[in-house]
Amino acid sequence: MKELNPVLLKEMRQRFRTYRSPLVLLLYLMVVGGFSLCYIYLRWRSAPSFSPGSSKDIFTVLSMAQLGLLAFVVPGLTAGVISGERERQTLNVLLTTELSPLGIVVSKMISSCSFIALLLFATLPLYSLVFMYGGLAPLQILGILGFFLITMLLYAAIGISCSTYFKRTGISTVTAYGLVFFQLAGTGFLGAFIYTLYLQQAEMAMVRLQETPLIVQLLQDNNPVMVMLRILGESATFGPDREMWLPYWGTYTVTCLVISVILILWSGWKLNPVNHNRKLFR
């Protein structure tokens, strides 16, 4: 434990040694588990046999709830980790330690995401309860878990980069939620809007749209809701799929990883007091 990053060790102790963490975990599992059991009971009351299609429906609803949790909690936990230190006037003290600015950023992000990861892994037995009734493949469950982890990494990188750039936690939090909302819903609305324009243009030219335009394909492949539904086997596309160099989940994974790495490296560079600090929008 002595070799562990001291900032990460301190953050982990503060987060997990309080009674709030197990309490929140218990309440979360009770709500999600109770919702699952109530849904199964209601379906059993209406039809004595539980069909695999019903199991898939509840899995989809639970996955949507988990995605909403990530979009709501992760930016809230990460958007104030650096700006909060700055507001408490402890950031300069932290920068005088032997830790590098990038190490501080990574430590703060890991400690913030650890609790969310704990919630995700703790719900796996509930997913297995749904899986027990059939209708889902094991690869789909693993795919959803990987999808959640990648999405959590992206949202955490967005939150901590906003926290590094903005001095005030309030502005950082609002900006992080705005960026997450655009990725969650804005890419879908923008893709639908552009696809409608292409359809109207094709109708005016009296031709049939053979494949989805490239910009629309990229937008729908980077929309988390549409990607998650496609992992679950749903048809969540605007039109016929375009032949791409990567499958939809590969495009989403590569985009999230590249953006996350860039934001983390930029946050470490920005936090370094040696670098020039621009003061726009503060």
Decide if pLDDT at 54 tops 80: no
CB 271 within 8 A of CB 95: yes
Specify the range with the lowest mean pLDDT, choosing from 84-93, 164-173, 226-235, 269-278. Answer: 269-278
Three-class secondary structure assignment of the chain: CCCCCHHHHHHHHHHHCCCHHHHHHHHHHHHHHHHHHHHHHHHHHHCCCCCHHHHHHHHHHHHHHHHHHHHHHHHHHHCCHHHHHHHCCCHHHHHCCCCCHHHHHHHHHHHHHHHHHHHHHHCHHHHHHHHCCCCCCHHHHHHHHHHHHHHHHHHHHHHHHHHHHCCCHHHHHHHHHHHHHHHHHHHHHHHHHHHHHHHHHHHHCCCCCCCCCHHHHHHHHCCHHHHHHHHCCCCCCCCCCCCCCCCHHHHHHHHHHHHHHHHHHHHHHHHCCCCCCCCCCC
Altogether, the residues listed in the chain come to a count of 282
Average pLDDT over residues 130-138: 67
Percentage of residues of the chain with pLDDT beyond 90: 17
Q: How far apart are CA 189 and CA 196, in angstroms?
A: 11
Residue 281, judged by CB atoms within 10 A of its CB (0-12, 13-18, 19+), counts as exposed
For 89-114, what is the mean pLDDT?
83
Q: How far apart are CA 83 and CA 168, in angstroms?
A: 6
How many Cβ atoms sit within 10 Å of the Cβ of residue 59?
23
Q: Which residue type sits at 189?
A: F
What is the per-residue pLDDT for 1?
A: 45
Return the pLDDT at 33: 75
- How far is residue 115's CA from residue 81's CA, in Å, rounded to a whole number? 14
The pLDDT tens digits of the residues spanning 213-245 come to 888 888 888 999 999 888 888 777 777 777 777
**Type of residue found at 233:** G
Domain ranges of the chain: 6-271
Residue 253, pLDDT > 90, answer yes
Instruction: Count the neighbouring beta carbons within 10 Å of the beta carbon of residue 176.
Output: 25
Q: How far apart are CA 268 and CA 104, in angstroms?
A: 8
pTM: 0.85
More confident residue, 242 or 190: 190
Q: Nearest 5°: phi and psi at 139?
A: -65, -30
Q: Which tops the pLDDT comparison, 108 or 277?
A: 108
Report the distance separating Cα 161 and Cα 271, nearest Å. 10
Percent of the chain with pLDDT over 70: 88
